[in-house]
A and B are shown apart, each in its own frame.
Chain A
Amino acid sequence: MTSKIDNALQFNQTALGLRAARQELLASNIANADTPNYKARDIDFASALQGALSGSTAKLPLSGTAPQHLGGATGTSVMGTPVMYRNVLQPSADGNTVDMDVERAQFADNALRYEASVNFVSSQVKDVLTALQG
């Protein structure tokens, strides 16, 4: 029974986790709007959610047979999805690729979708409570 409730909430839970992680990346971009040579980063949300739900993004670890072998740490990733650099729309003199309009729009969009997910989870919880109490 508990696992069924767990399964029902799984989708929105994963979505919320990814939204929060993406929100952090976008906040980093906005914070570094004046840092020379900083490259704006983001994740592809759709593929990240698909990957996180199917669990297919788990990478094969490098097998180390000697203590000197490196761990093979790959680039930064969010819940198994690689963090990618944003395409540059306009070049800048200091090598910074943060476009404040894009970042602010994405930040607001992501915040709204996070709130939507929170509402979905809330109504799901209410549904379960209704089913339990009759």
Chain B
Amino acid sequence: MSLFNIFNISGSAMTAQSQRLNVVASNLANADSATGPDGKAYRAKQVVFSTTPVGTAGGAGVKVAAVVEDASPMKMVYDPKHPMANEQGYVTLPNVNVVEEMVNMISSSRSYQNNVEVMNTSKSLLLKTLTIGQ
């Protein structure tokens, strides 16, 4: 039954999008974390989406294939008074691009809403199907 499969497809997309939002939240929260448990500055993380087959009729859901660390260079800020400053007086700050993260946040929340819409439509179609012959 294809319409039931839509719940799985949209559900997988919603899970993936909320994980992306989760990563965005952690990036934004740590935008100024000069040090972490390993003693190094926080590195921005990004999710990698990949298509995963759902059901037998060719439906395609989404899964988070990996959460990778952003390879862009770390921010170097001159602040000799900072406890984490090196001999030259520079502090390594996270490579979080706040503008990029805000765009990611809006994009993922919009995609999430889209999938909620899809689920609602499928639900009303299924309910309508149940009324056949009544």
Contacts and interface: CB of A to CB of B under 8 A. Distances in A.
Interface of A: 16-17, 20-21, 23-25, 27-28, 30-36, 38, 41, 76-78, 83, 100, 104, 107-108, 111, 114-115, 118, 121-122, 125-126
B9 A34 contact: no
B131 interface: yes
Given A33-B111, A34-B111, 9 more contacts: A20-B2, A21-B57, A28-B54, A28-B61, A32-B61, A34-B17, A34-B62, A35-B62, A122-B131
Contacts of A38: 51, 60
The contact size tier of chain B is 35 or more
Given A23-B3, A24-B5, A38-B60, A31 B125 contact: no
Contacts of B20: 34
Contacts of B13: 30-32
B133 A20 contact: no
23 contacts: A20-B125, A23-B3, A23-B122, A28-B9, A30-B10, A30-B114, A31-B9, A31-B12, A31-B60, A31-B62, A32-B49, A33-B111, A36-B48, A36-B49, A41-B58, A104-B117, A108-B121, A114-B125, A118-B131, A118-B132, A121-B133, A122-B131, A122-B132
